[in-house]
Chains A and B, each alone.
Chain A
Amino acid sequence: MSAAALGEERVATGIPGLDRMLGGGLLAHRPYLVTGSTGSGKTLLGLTFLLEGLRRGEEVLLVAVDEPPSEIVENVRSFGWDLSDVRTLEANPGTHAIKRNVAVQEIRTMTDLKSMRDLSQESRRASDAEDISIQSIQLKLRQQMGGRPFTRVVVDSVTSIRRFAVKSSVDPQAERTEIQSLLRFLSECGVTALITATPSNASVLNPEEVLTRGEILLTRKWIGDRSVRQVKIVRMRGCAHDPERRPFAITPQGIVLG
């Protein structure tokens, strides 16, 4: 097959049912979005994806913003999963973030004060503050790429990155540009990435929605006292896919899809 040559290389998600819905897997080297409310299984899907990579001898990375990695390890112990080979970049805010939050507050105040006087000064400062986290993530990744490059990366979650790492409420342009830059960076490095996010307000167009090449939606609803989980491929560029909602379950073996 000339699939690789044509750029049609597929990447297995680790969930056979999902691969089937995708017509064989995700197209390689592209970023994808996994959306769902809390508890819908996004992180689990991401971890399954990483473990599948490990199984294939790939180098994988988890950028953990939402949950501290130590907790994630605990959480998946019941599945019998061994995450010890999953590289983790802990971008969890923790106490640092609190400090930084304060700092940001200060900058904002200063911004107000300075904006009248010295616009260029002010904008540089603001952007310095905003850059820190995404910049550090990107730099860390760049260092890693020197050795054995990652082929799978999960960023959990971009919603939190936006909230904690990018103090860009001041300037939506900067936020978009940074996320654009990060996703492009991953693509250029040949990484197949899953970016998790909580569903956004329909009236807001987040940059990750524009930039990712596909979106997998996880939903959960209650019917009586039974929770019904469903997965749906909202969009997926370049591959014929199953557009219907399909039920899935989280079992002791992980995510199982029809």
Chain B
Amino acid sequence: MATPQRSIVPSSDRVSTGNVGLDAMLEGGFVPRRPYLIVGPSGTGKTTLALQFLAEGVRAGERVLLVTLEEPPNEARVNHRGLLPALDAIEVFDAIPDIMRYERTPFKDIASVRAVVPFGKVPPKIRQTPELSSVEVTITALEQMLRSEVARKGYSRIVIDSMTALQYFCMKGFDPVAGAQTFLRFVSDLGVTTVLTVESPLEDADTPERMLARGEIRLFRWELDGQSVRAIGVEKFRGSAHDVRLHPYRIGPKGIDINLAVTISRDTRQIIEAPAPTVAPEVPAGPTTPFASLEREVSDFVLVGAPLEPLRAELEGALVATARGDRESAQGHLARAAAITVDLAHAIRSGEGASVPIGPGAGEAYQRIRDRADASRAGVPPFGLPEPPILKGELERLIELIPPRVAPASPPPAPTPPPPPVVPTASDHANVAPRPEFVPPAEPAPEPEPEVEPVPEPPIEPATEPAPEPGIEAETEPVPEPRPEPEPTAAATPVAEPTGPGTGPLEPAPVGASEEPSASAEPSTPAESSPPAPGLEPEPASGGEPVPAPTSEPPTRHQPVPEPPVAPAPPSLIDLVPHVTPSASRDAHRAEPPPLPSLHAPEAPPPQAAGVPSAERKPAAEAGAKKRKKAPAPKRRPAPKTAPAPPAPAPTPVRLAPRAPEAAPRLPEPIGSPAASKPIESAEKPKRRATRKRKAPPVVAATPGPMPIGDLGSPPPPPPATEDAPSTEDGR
């Protein structure tokens, strides 16, 4: 990333923005003690990005200050609860003017009336204007307050949210231009790394603060063909080289996920550069994400022994409603079921509700649940209901996950069948493949290689198949490289392997099946290659999102996905290999691109020059192969059911499909014939890949896709690729 020579400040001295993707774009982060702008229209995530910056400071043990002029602190806290717990240590100064009193009231200076409090102490209700007086906020009072607070408390990061509101509401009697200039000047003199947000409906409006700031990060939101496209770019960055391209991003619970692997044109607003694996044109939106995430969550709850009766009741209610043809009611039940999982996660996180951990993997499951609880945003994402037959299948599978009451957690998960839908896309995604790989390895450990070979794609896209493996491996062992994040993913996968191994390649059994249906099922051969099913569509809103993106925050998500429960494999194996849980596999199929990303990255490069060195991949692949062999764990359970399922997933690999994660609506693919599908897929895969390369990802896809992709793939490679590849330009 940072090429020290190019920037005046070595990257080690940079101030991290708290956003992995943005740090990469800035070659390490902000240059300390300077003011920066985050500019964009309302609702693009300026505040979120700014809070990530502050939360990073908290994590580094710094004192940080948020001056809010727009969003009341109580609401800001709720809106960004995904950033907890760091959020609570951020000190916030509420500079929002009071309700106007039309009667004459004693004038009070804001600096004398209000004080800075940490977010954690912000009351849940909005601050009430005092009965007898109201506070007027003036820019001079604010400057005074800032100066004294900085001197007294030594803040090292400050965010002014927003500069626009400051100009709008606090500069009565000042010329807005002169006022903005003065304020910016004041901020520079403070000598604190400061971020100011600016609301700007127009992209080319030149304002004084834009000229004075030392750097500007711009957020774009366009609507193309009815789809929203969000992109981020560094418009100006003095004193350092930076990435000048626009990258799509998505706003998630933990902040902004930037997909560095995809570039969007400033003129056409279409994707102009994306990793090969990225989009599988034909890829259907895979299975609905909500189910994938629900499955993961349920599996974890089962492992932890959480009380699931209410959840089961809702699911059964949904099933009954579906059978009746009452979609509205089914939707309601599902929404409640999702709400229950959120509540459960919160309850467990706060120490209630969790019972004695059952079985292996409970520890990890517990951690994932807590992560999810921390990450959960307000509310449950909207559920897009698939067609009745699919819905029914999903529901049945979910219900099956929940043990009657005392059933051991681990077993249940394994059984879960793999998601059906995936099939179509399988070929596309190398990414997808990776996950499958994970799984497969476990089961067939011994045969992994064979599988690979079988995979017919060597000629055309050898990379693809192999890639997956490499990726996996890479993450796991070989690739020591830089990607820490990827590893988590890998880890996840590995677990799966252990589980499966015993079973043998073919039917790795339950877990494996679920995870990588394709791999295990058909397996023996192609499975691995196809595995990628993950490609499907990771995106969906559900926590699972594909996001594995190495770059940003994939790790977390990754973790959640896998379900280690199995733990069957020998410890040693386990350690090496991440655990893949059935649920994980599913995720992979459907929505979880995360793991894949890493894989992807490797693969992608070959085809497209994604920037990943092929060499790495190979090694990784090899490593993976080795691991698999080692891994051969005993199968936990043979799951006939699974076997069929697997095939389907394989196809899905498409994961890249940018689709809209949120909607999750897209296509439910018929699950039905896994076996059949697999063969086909394997045959087709090569072709698909070819297609990919040729085709430029559709814009639309890009929109949704990008995010997922970003998450997935960006990670490791991104930094290098981004910075280097992209013409690095100097800020100056």
User: Chain A: residues with CB nearer than 8 A to chain B?
Assistant: 1-2, 5-8, 10, 16, 20-25, 27, 29-30, 131, 135, 138-139, 173, 176-178, 180-181, 184-185, 187-188, 190, 202-205, 207, 209-211, 213-215, 234-245
Q: How large is the interface on B (under 10, 10 to 19, 20 to 34, 35 or more residues)?
A: 35 or more
The one of A30, A187, A203 in contact with B202, judged by C-beta atoms closer than 8 angstroms, is A203
Closest residue of chain B to A207, judged by CB?
B168
Min CB–CB distance B182 → chain A (angstroms):
17
Interface of B is mostly: loop
If A1-B339, A20-B335, A211-B70 are given as contacts, then 17 extra A-B residue pairs at C-beta distance below 8 Å, sorted by A number, are: A20-B331, A24-B335, A29-B125, A188-B129, A209-B42, A209-B201, A215-B43, A235-B42, A237-B75, A238-B75, A238-B80, A240-B380, A240-B662, A241-B381, A242-B382, A242-B663, A244-B226
Q: Are A8 and B78 in contact (CB under 8 A)?
A: yes
CA–CA, A211 to B75, complex, Å?
Answer: 12
Interface string of B122-152 (1 = CB under 8 A from A): 0011111100000000000000000000000
Min CB–CB distance B731 → chain A (angstroms):
27
Closest residue of chain B to A201, judged by CB?
B201
Interface string of B80-120 (1 = CB under 8 A from A): 11000000000000001111101000000000000000000
CA–CA, A211 to B96, complex, Å?
Answer: 11
Q: Which residues of B contact A180 (CB under 8 A)?
A: 97, 100, 168-169
Known: A176-B169, A237-B71, A242-B662. A202 touches B202 (CB 8 A): yes
Q: Are B124 and A24 in contact (CB under 8 A)?
A: no
B541 at interface by CB-CB < 8 Å: yes
B383 at interface by CB-CB < 8 Å: yes
- A-B pairs, top 10 by smallest CB distance, nearest first, are A235-B43, A238-B79, A23-B379, A181-B100, A24-B379, A239-B378, A7-B78, A7-B124, A185-B99, A20-B382
CA–CA, A138 to B124, complex, Å?
Answer: 24
Closest residue of chain B to A211, judged by CB?
B70
Q: Which residues of B contact A29 (CB under 8 A)?
A: 125-126
Min CB–CB distance B229 → chain A (angstroms):
10
Min CB–CB distance B55 → chain A (angstroms):
16
Known: A23-B379, A215-B42, A240-B541. A188 touches B70 (CB 8 A): no
B77 at interface by CB-CB < 8 Å: yes
CA–CA, A96 to B165, complex, Å?
Answer: 33
Q: Which residues of A contact B199 (CB under 8 A)?
A: 205, 209-210
User: Chain B: residues with CB nearer than 8 A to chain A?
Assistant: 42-44, 70-72, 74-75, 77-81, 96-100, 102, 124-129, 162, 164-165, 168-169, 171-172, 199-202, 205, 226-228, 253, 328, 331, 335, 339, 343, 346, 377-383, 541, 660, 662-663
Min CB–CB distance B657 → chain A (angstroms):
15
Q: Are A244 and B379 in contact (CB under 8 A)?
A: no
Q: Are A24 and B380 in contact (CB under 8 A)?
A: yes
Min CB–CB distance A151 → chain B (angstroms):
14
CA–CA, A258 to B343, complex, Å?
Answer: 28
Q: Are A241 and B382 in contact (CB under 8 A)?
A: yes
Q: Which residues of B contact A241 (CB under 8 A)?
A: 381-382, 662
Min CB–CB distance A153 → chain B (angstroms):
15
List 21 A–B pairs whose Cβ atoms lie within 8 Å, in order of A's numbering.
Answer: A5-B124, A7-B125, A23-B381, A23-B382, A29-B125, A176-B169, A177-B100, A177-B172, A180-B97, A180-B169, A187-B72, A202-B201, A202-B202, A203-B201, A203-B202, A209-B201, A213-B75, A236-B43, A237-B75, A239-B377, A242-B382
CA–CA, A215 to B201, complex, Å?
Answer: 14
Q: Which residues of B contact A234 (CB under 8 A)?
A: 43
The one of B96, B128, B377 in contact with A240, judged by C-beta atoms closer than 8 angstroms, is B377
Q: Which residues of A contact B335 (CB under 8 A)?
A: 20, 24
Task: Select the residue from A7, A21, A25, A30 with max chain B CB neighbours within 10 A.
Answer: A7
Q: Are B42 and A210 in contact (CB under 8 A)?
A: yes
Min CB–CB distance B642 → chain A (angstroms):
31
Known: A7-B75, A244-B662. A237 touches B168 (CB 8 A): no
Task: Select the residue from A202, A204, A238, A239 with max chain B CB neighbours within 10 A.
Answer: A238
